[in-house]
Structure 1
Amino acid sequence: MLRSLDIRDILIIDRLELDFQPGLNVLTGETGAGKSILLDSLGFVLGWRGRAELVRTGAEQGEVTAVFDLREGHPAHAVLAEAGFPETEELILRRVNTADGRKTAFVNDRRTSGDILRRLSDTLVELHGQQDDRGLLNTRGHRLLLDDYAGAGALLSSTRAAWRAVGAARKALEQAEAGLAAIREEEDFLRHATTELDALDPQPGEEAQLDDRRRLMQAAGRIREDVSRAHAALGYDGAEGMISDAIRWLDGAADQAEGRLDAPLTALARALTELGEAEQAVADALESMEVDPGELERVEERLFAIRGLARKHGVAPDELGDFAERLRTQLAALDSGAADLKSLQAALATAEAAYDSEAAKLSDLRRKAAGKLDRAMAKELAPLKMERAVFATELDDADPGPEGRDAVAFTVATNPGAPSGPLNKIASGGELSRFLLALKVCLTGTDSGITLIFDEIDRGVGGATADAVGRRLESLAHKGQVLVVTHSPQVAARGAHHWQVAKRVSKGATLSQVTPLEGTGRVDEIARMLAGDTITEEARGAARALLEG
């Protein structure tokens, strides 16, 4: 509910503070007094697009502050939470416009964007007038209005869930088909490559082992001659024979050397032992260097084959095994692809059937609600002197979507037998106002927490019709808060709270002021609306009769 509106230095308003109440609030005044400025100011603080120049002449900046009371569960709480604002029962919106055109917005004294203001405004205020492009005349919102009227929330949720399931199933099928098509394009390559890799069967670490073996075999061929010579030099025909001869000769002379040859003999015996070990080790090495030319060829052939496949497929030699496994997996997917596609196609068909069922239920609910709304509108139009008009809620097929497959449009024929069409194309200004009012009465159930504003929606009607308009506005106000800008005394008399908007001249400047009316002041204002500038006692009597009625 809009609790207060504070306007400073906006157009012809210098300072204005308005405290609104629940129920029907009416604003009256002569044409040009500034009633539309109040709506412009409210629209400005709510982020609506409006006049470019709002700052009062001579002022540095204009400012508007609106205070709203938010009940528990009000949809504005969700917008505030998403924008990072703490939950509160009081919402203060403030917007400043400097003389050079800069605009700054605040929510509960925290700076915010115009987009946040507009999103909040959608949950706070609903404006209706003869140019109702934000509300009931916008055909894009008719389906939503009908769904609210039908109480289709649960069914809409299940339909949206079914639509998401269809989308997920279709995406899975499309991805599988695309993946299978890509594999099919490479089937020949995959089969040839896996056959080639399976035949070679490279093992992790094998390339390094083969390379080491090849290097060793190549080196053995180069050094074997030197090792063979060394082995001969160590053998009996070489060092071993000479040491043996030396031991024999020294041993023969030892008895006559009086012990002087014992140590050399012991050392030579040790040397002969070490020499034997060395000779055996060299012999073993020489034996290991026996290179089979055929084996070297086989090692090189396999090594080059592994490296060639690695280069061909752009992987490291040790990754060939994993690469082959990936190719086998792709081939397995290709071989089982037909069965997988059938499973995914069945899943999509199941999801589409579930969506069709939910969408059909939603269409049926909408058709029933449309009939109910049409009957309710017929009852509402009769007191508004439009009993010959025919209101119809038309449902047409639309492309399937998350909200079903129905297009909804409110149409009207102003006379029996006349062609029907959109409200704003068929109805005249006065008729349109009454259609919109009747439609709003029918569509508004319980208090939604939204302040309804009607801007001269009673224009072009008078007498009993204006009285019917006023009574319907009063009925709407019982469910929440309604603000009405009106020139109709019959409508003004139905208000629970009344403000008069007037111009005054102060120090050569024209300013707008708003005065709350009660008692005789209210009687005089309604009398003025009935009689014009000259208020007679007869007009006052008629005003009292309206207020008492």
Structure 2
Amino acid sequence: MLTRLSIRNIVLIEALDLDFGRGLGVLTGETGAGKSILLDALGLVLGDRAETALVRAGEAKASVTASFEFSELPPAVAEALDDADIELEPGEPLIIRRQVKADAGSKAFINDQPASVALLRELRPALVELHGQHDDRGLVNPRGHRALLDRYAGTGLAGLARHWAQWAKAEAQLSEARSDVEQAKADQDLLIAHLAELTALEPQAGEEVRLAATRTDMQKAEKLSGELEELRHVWEGSDSPLASLRVAARKLDRIAGEHPMLTEALAALDRAVIEAGEAEEKLESAAEALVHDPQALDQAETRLFELRALARKHRCEVDQLPDLIREMRAKLDAIEGGEAQLDALEAAAKEAREAYVKAAEKAHDLRIKAARKLDKAVAAELAPLKLDAARFLTSIAALPEDKWGAHGMDGCEFLIATNPGADFAPLAKIASGGELSRFILALKVALAEKGGAATIIFDEIDRGVGGAVASAIGERLARLAADEGQLLAVTHSPQVAARGAQHYLIAKASSGTVTKTSVALLDEAGRQEEIARMLSGAEITSEARAQADRLLEGV
């Protein structure tokens, strides 16, 4: 709840520190005293636009600080702070500070840590619920009506949300499978053509390296064979150098015995013939080894080029072609088995949908029963609030399937008709400012809502009413404050003011050209005097004081 509001240099307020407690707090004062300034200041720390006109004349900047304390931090607040990396120790108050400069610009802080205005707006629904003349949030906004009715009905949406998630997952899987099969079917002819081309070639892992090595060896042999052919005259034919060397050796053998030097020459020549013979054998062996089939070379080169061309076509490496064949076969198999898989997924999605619809229909039945009960409860509150001619209706409408969700299949909106025979319409479109606030009060009392904002503010809910109606409003505000913990009411009604657990007087005073607004927490005597003023006007009479005493004693 809101425990403290500190204001510095906001319009007519120079410096103000207000402490708030539980229960009903009332704020009174003459018209124009500055009650709206307090609401504007509070709105500033809750993310309202920072208008430079809020800064007090002659000052460079203004600031507002609001402190909130909780027995347990609301989950929405905890989650928002965690997302913003703002730490709050258990039991530590939440302190929001907003500064506005006279030359434009503003800063926001949460427990002295910089914060965005967007974060302040995110925190607002859990901190303060404001109902006033231009209320466009809270109970007026139909976006929250279904959640309010569900809390009232105790619908319990956890199971429904689980069924929705399971159905959504099943539908997503079915959609993905259908897309895959459709895409595969569209590619089927191309897949078959590609697979036939690849299968005909039958690429093998590591084949490119082997073919490249074979081609290199054959090209080298072809070159060496040509060079050996040029050397063949050395050892082949009767006029080859080797044949001549052997003839010379035979001739020398016939005369070698005639002289020792000839014998030595013959021995050297014999050695030369032996070495040359060995060389001849080596050359012949090499020639035989280098013999190759030109057709085999052509075949190796052709296959290597075909493999590389296919790899380029499919944008992969040659060694990846066997894997590509397996992938294509798997895709074709998936097309063939896809229909069976789709049948299974369709059955699962249908089953999940039926489970969701069953849970949603159960939630619908609970909402219908709760709506009838709520309509009666609100109707019982309208007459005492001088809205006896009005009618209230909780409208529950079936949503189109594309609008279904974790919340179910229903749309929900609170409608009213202010005159007999008039059509029902949304709250904000029919009710006047005062009527709207009273409708909201009646609805909140009927709902006995829990888990809403920590602080509820009603701005002039008693506008245009008095007597028994004002007394009824005061009684219901006090009852609602006891249920909710903290409720603040800006009021002109003495009957409402008398119900307050705390009473704040807002006053405006002028000194020369300077006008200031002040707020004071009244004691019992002060409350009697202020309520007497509200009863009598400018001059407070003894009868007014006596009537004020009766009002205070009667609560």
TM-score (norm 1): 0.91
One of 106, 110, 114 as aligned partner of 2:109? 106
What residue in structure 1 maps to residue 74 of structure 2?
Answer: 74
String of CA shifts for 1:399-448, please: whole Å, max 9, x gaps.
Answer: 31232121111112335544322223333443322211011122234465
Which whole-Å CA distance do the structure 2 matches of 1:493 and 1:146 have between them? 32
Distance, in Å, in 1 between the alignment partners of 2:344 and 2:260 is: 105
Of all paired residues, the percent bearing the same amino acid is 47
Other-structure match for 1:34: 34
Structure 2 counterpart of 1:519, from 505, 508, 524 = 524
1:404-423 maps to which residues of 2 (within 5 A)?
404-423=408-427
Residues 448, 243 of structure 1: alpha-carbon distance in 2 compared, 3 angstrom cutoff? same
For 1:125, which of 125, 128, 134 is the aligned residue?
A: 128
Distance 2:258 2:487 in 1: 142
Work out the CA distance in 2 between the residues paired with 1:183 and 1:338. Answer: 12
> Cα deviation per residue 1:343-384 (whole Å; 9 max; x = unaligned)?
222222122222212222222222222122122212322432
Distance in 2 between residues matched to 1:510 and 1:404, nearest whole Å? 56
**Residues in 1 aligned to 2:370 and 2:547: alpha-carbon distance in whole angstroms:** 42
1:120 is displaced (CA, Å) by 1.5
- Deviations 1:59-108 (CA, angstroms, capped at 9, x unpaired): 11111111111222423222111110112321111111111121111111
User: What residue is the counterpart of 2:549 in the other structure?
Assistant: 544
1:109-508 equivalence runs, <5 A: 109-152=112-155, 154-155=156-157, 157-230=158-231, 233-234=234-235, 249=252, 253=256, 257=260, 261=264, 265=267, 269=271, 275=276, 278-398=279-399, 399-446=403-450, 448=452, 450-479=454-483, 480-508=485-513
Distance 1:48 1:240, change over 3 A: same
| Change in CA separation of 1:288 and 1:32 when aligned onto 2, cut-off 3 Å | same
Which 5+ residue runs of structure 1 have no aligned equivalent?
none
Distance 1:254 1:537 in 2: 175
How far residue 22 of structure 1 moved from its aligned partner, in angstroms, is 0.8
Decide whether the 8 Å contact of 1:33 with 1:502 is kept in 2. Answer: yes
SS in 1 for 2:139: coil
In structure 2, relative to structure 1, the CA distance for the partners of 1:388 and 1:285 (3 Å cut) is same
Q: Give the residue type in structure 1 aligned to 2:10.
A: I
Q: Secondary structure at the match of 1:6?
A: strand
- Pick the aligned partner of 2:99 from 90, 96, 99: 96
Give the C-alpha shift of residue 281 in structure 1.
3.6
Partner SS, residue 284 of structure 2: helix
**Which range moves more in the overlay, 216-225 or 317-326?**
216-225
Q: Which amino acid aligns with 2:175?
A: E
CA 1:65 to 1:268, structure 2 compared with 1: closer, same or farther past 3 Å? farther
Structure 1 residues 544 and 173, CA gap change in structure 2 (3 angstroms): same
Greater CA deviation, 439-448 or 39-48?
439-448
Further displaced range: 188-197 or 350-359: 350-359
Aligned residue in 1 for 2:539: 534
Q: Does 1:22 align with 2:22?
A: yes
Give the match for residue 5 of structure 1.
5
* 1:26-80 deviations in Å (ceiling 9; x for gaps): 1000000001110000001111247551001111111111111122242322211
Residue 283 of structure 1, CA deviation: 2.2
Aligned partners of 1:120, 1:54: CA distance in 2, in Å?
22
Paired residues of 1:194 and 1:328 also in contact (CA < 8 A): yes
Aligned pair count? Answer: 545
Aligned residues of 1:411 and 1:423 also touching (Cα < 8 A)? yes
Q: In the superposition, relative to structure 1, how do residues 508 and 225 fare at CA in structure 2: closer, same or farther (>3 Å)?
A: closer
Distance 1:142 1:449, change over 3 A: closer
Task: Provide the alpha-carbon RMSD of the alignment.
Answer: 2.8
Matched residues in 1 for 2:337 and 2:241: separation?
75
Is the contact between residue 462 and residue 470 of structure 2 (CA under 8 Å) also seen in structure 1?
yes
Partner SS state of residue 66, structure 1? strand
Determine helix, strand or coil for the equivalent of 1:394.
Answer: strand
SS of the aligned residue for 1:401 comes to coil
Q: Which amino acid aligns with 1:68?
A: F
Could you tell me how far 1:535 is from its partner in structure 2?
0.5
Are residues 216 and 267 of structure 1, via their aligned partners in 2, closer, same or farther at CA, if it must alter by over 3 Å? same
| 1-structure distance, mates of 2:248, 2:479 | 138
Name the amino acid aligned to 1:454.
Answer: F
User: Is contact 2:218-2:297 (8 Å) kept?
Assistant: yes
Cα distance in 1 between the residues matched to 2:316 and 2:451 = 69
Name the SS of the counterpart of 1:72 in structure 2: coil
Letter in 1 for 2:500: G
Amino acid at match of 1:125: V
Whether the 8 Å CA contact 2:389–2:419 is kept in 1: the answer is yes
When residues 547 and 301 of structure 1 are mapped into structure 2, their CA distance, relative to the original with a 3 A threshold, is same
**Residue pair 2:167, 2:349 contacting (<8 A) in 1 also:** yes
Check the 8 A contact 1:467/1:491 in 2, yes or no.
Answer: yes
**More displaced stretch, 250-259 vs 31-40:** 250-259
Answer yes or no: is the 8 Å Cα contact 1:55–1:62 preserved in 2: yes
Greater Cα offset, 108-117 or 376-385: 376-385
- Please give the TM-score of this superposition, normalised by the length of structure 2: 0.90
Q: Do the aligned residues in 1 keep the contact of 2:24 with 2:478 (CA within 8 Å)?
A: yes
Query: Matched residues in 2 for 1:94 and 1:465: separation?
Result: 38
Q: Deviations over 1:274-313 (max 9, x none)?
A: 6555444432321233333443343344334323433443
> 1:251–1:265: 8 Å Cα contact kept in structure 2?
no
Asked whether the equivalents of residues 256 and 262 of structure 2 are also in contact (C-alpha less than 8 Å), the reply is no
Residue by residue over 1:503-549, the C-alpha shift from the partner in whole angstroms, topping out at 9 and shown as x without a partner, is: 11134211101111112211010001011011100000000000011
Distance in 2, matches of 1:133 and 1:247, equals 128
1:250 and 1:265 in contact (8 A); partners too: no
| Cα distance in 1 between the residues matched to 2:63 and 2:70 | 23
| 1:472 partner letter | R
How far apart in 2 are the matches of 1:477 and 1:4?
18
- Structure 1 residues 50, 297: closer, same or farther in 2, change over 3 A? closer
Measured in 1, the distance between the counterparts of 2:193 and 2:81 equals 62
Deviation readout 1:450-486 (Å, 9 max, x if unpaired): 1011111111111111111101110111130111100
2:26/2:500 contact within 8 Å kept: yes
Does structure 2 conserve the Cα–Cα contact (< 8 Å) formed by 1:390 and 1:413? Answer: yes
Structure 2 CA distance for partners of 1:277 and 1:195, relative to 1, 3 Å: farther
How big is the shift at 1:491? 0.3
Task: Pick which of 278-287 and 195-204 moved more.
Answer: 278-287
8 Å contact from structure 2 (residues 108, 115) kept in 1: yes
Instruction: Give yes or no for contact 1:433–1:459 (8 Å, CA) kept in 2.
Output: no
Q: Which moved more, 1:52-61 or 1:413-422?
A: 413-422
1:369 aligned counterpart, secondary structure: helix
Q: Which moved more, 1:79-88 or 1:340-349?
A: 340-349
Which runs of 5 or more residues in structure 2 are unaligned? none
For residues 346 and 496 of structure 1, the distance between their equivalents in structure 2, rounded to whole angstroms, comes to 62
- 1:196-243 Cα offsets, whole Å, 9 max, x none, are 211110123323433443444345445424314535635796566666
In the aligned structure 2, how far is the partner of 1:192 from the partner of 1:302? 19
SS at match of 2:385: coil
Kindly provide the CA deviation profile for residues 98-137 of structure 1, in whole angstroms up to 9, marking residues without a partner as x: 1112111111111111001111122111101232211211
- Secondary structure (helix, strand or coil) at the match of 2:53 reads coil
